[in-house]
Amino acid sequence: MEAATTALSGDKAKRIVDAMRASVAARGAAGSTFDHVAREAGVSRGLLHYYFGTKERLLVEVVRRDSDLRLAGLDAAIAAAHTADDLLAVLVSSLEDLVERDPSFVALHFELFTSARRTPEIAAELAALHRRIREHVAEQLEAKAREGVISPTADAESVVTVLLSLADGLALRMLADPGHDWGPTLAAAMPAARALLG
């Protein structure tokens, strides 16, 4: 898939991914069709099929690009963290911002997970994306460990996997019950996360 999207001109690729992103926000993943996306991106429906093949592959690309943007912002925030508590605050703030400002992205991620259970190709692409995110964040934690900011209780990738799993579970529940006050729950999760960071 990466080879296919890079073969697309930068402007068209960006327009297609942005159009799918906007469609998901407006209609949800199930309601977002290639017809909608092609019309909004100003390209032919056939072009979407040629480069992406299926809607799910295009949705994976949306998640991949969004993840890259979020990781860049997270990198800067982690770099500015001088204590383990600073680092935890960054991670909690990132989760809250994601759920409050971009619930469609969280929902899309869960929808892709469901699609991955039925489609081996999507499962492989999603696993590769998760691996890349895990490895990237682990590198940031390793840098903080070298600086003496944290002393992880296990290898960085294992710690990141637990932290991401905790975030995924919390995000799912926060989306399912947006009217609930999640502050106490997030506070209750802090000691567990803090223990992982050492």
Query: Is residue 183 exposed (0-12), middle (13-18) or buried (19+ Cβ within 10 Å)?
Result: exposed
Share of the chain above pLDDT 90, in %: 36
Share of the chain above pLDDT 70, in %: 95
pLDDT in tens, 45-60: 888 888 888 888 888 8
Q: Is the pLDDT of residue 4 over 70?
A: no
State whether residue 54 is helix, strand or coil: coil
Q: Assess contact for 90 and 167: CB atoms under 8 A.
A: no
The per-residue pLDDT for range 135-187, each reduced to its tens digit, is 999 999 999 999 999 999 999 999 999 999 999 999 999 989 989 999 999 99
Please list, in sequence order, all residues whose beta carbon lies within 8 angstroms of the beta carbon of residue 78, skipping any fewer than 6 positions away. 87, 90, 140, 144
Residue closest to 170 by CA, chosen among 111, 96, 69, 78: 96
Helices (H) and strands (E) in the chain, counts: 10, 0
121 against 173, higher pLDDT: 173
The CA distance from 84 to 150, in Å, is 6
Q: Whole-prediction pTM value?
A: 0.79
Walk me through the domains of the chain, giving residue ranges and CATH numbers.
1-53 (1.10.10), 60-197 (1.10.357.10)
State which amino acid sits at residue 173. R
